[in-house]
Amino acid sequence: TLIKNYDEYTYNHSVNVSVISLALADALAISSQEKIEIGVAGLLHDVGKTQLALDLIRKPSGLTPEEFEEIKKHPEEGFILLGKMSHIHPGSAHMVREHHMRFDRKGYPELDPEYKVHPFSQIIATADCYDALTTMRSYQKARTPLEALETMRKLSGKSIDPNYVAILSKIMGSYP
């Protein structure tokens, strides 16, 4: 409800990311307990945005470097929020924190090189990327599923895990 009351787009995006993440987890035959953690992380991956100014989240044009630095705080803000919730598994909180850490570790937040990334964070990152690419926004035209997967193949190995992109391509099929 925190996300839904904050921004309708962020809420819809969060539900989509959760569903796509669960589909990936199912295709990977991940255990039921880990699927719960992944589903929760997908649903709450952007909860940290609720700690930022709404006009910044809804800005229809490009962000200034200062505004982008502010946006980059949302994974850590989400991690802090989830850390205060006793019923949230720490694995979910870590996936939320790491969903913008690129596959090559050049994303954000910048963490110590020795920091061990949660093994399923890239599931959330992959689902987040797919939904962002296929959703119409004021500053971007929605791509078709095939266009999105092609863009993601180009990003794989850098921004996102190539194994998860391949699995996503397989489970999405050749629709339309």
Task: Tell me the per-residue pLDDT of 82-113, one tens digit each, with 9 for 90 and over.
Answer: 999 999 999 999 999 999 999 999 999 998 88
Give the residue carrying structure tokens 């850590």: 76
Q: Are 93 and 121 in contact (CB under 8 A)?
A: no
Q: What pLDDT does 138 receive?
A: 66
The three-point CA angle 22-24-27 to 5° equals: 110
Average pLDDT of the chain to the nearest whole number? 94
Q: What pLDDT does 118 receive?
A: 96
Q: What pLDDT does 84 receive?
A: 96
Q: What pLDDT does 111 receive?
A: 86
Question: What are the pLDDT digits (tens) for 121-164?
Answer: 999 999 999 999 999 876 778 999 999 999 999 999 999 999 99
The string over 5-25, giving b where at least 16 C-beta atoms fall within 10 Å of a residue's C-beta and e elsewhere, is: ebbeebbebbebbbebbbbbb
- Percentage of the chain modeled with pLDDT above 90: 82
Distance from C-alpha of 75 to C-alpha of 97, rounded to nearest angstrom = 4
| Close Cβ partners of 46 (under 8 Å, ≥ 6 residues apart) | 3, 10, 13, 14, 17, 74, 78
